[in-house]
Amino acid sequence: MLTLLAMLGGGVTSSLWLKMLFDAQLFVIELALVAGISGLIRRNEPQKRTFSHAAAGLLVAGAILLGLGAAIL
């Protein structure tokens, strides 16, 4: 929800850096989603743990990017 609100607010800006920041944030969130789902369908427990940690790290990175974008707006 925050991503949608930030993208709507950032849509009126002409700043290339801000648009790139929001695109990077969306890309990172999508990677987190893929890593999380991949972790769910794995049978091997160490692989599940690895994918879960990767998804959590990507979500944190996406939240940081979202915060930076919101601070710039």
Residue 11: pLDDT band (50, 70, 90) is low
Dump pLDDT digits (tens) for 18-41: 778 888 888 898 899 999 999 999
Q: Where are the alpha helices (DSSP H) in the chain?
A: 2-10, 16-41, 45-72
Q: Which DSSP symbol is given to 23?
A: H
Full-model pTM: 0.76
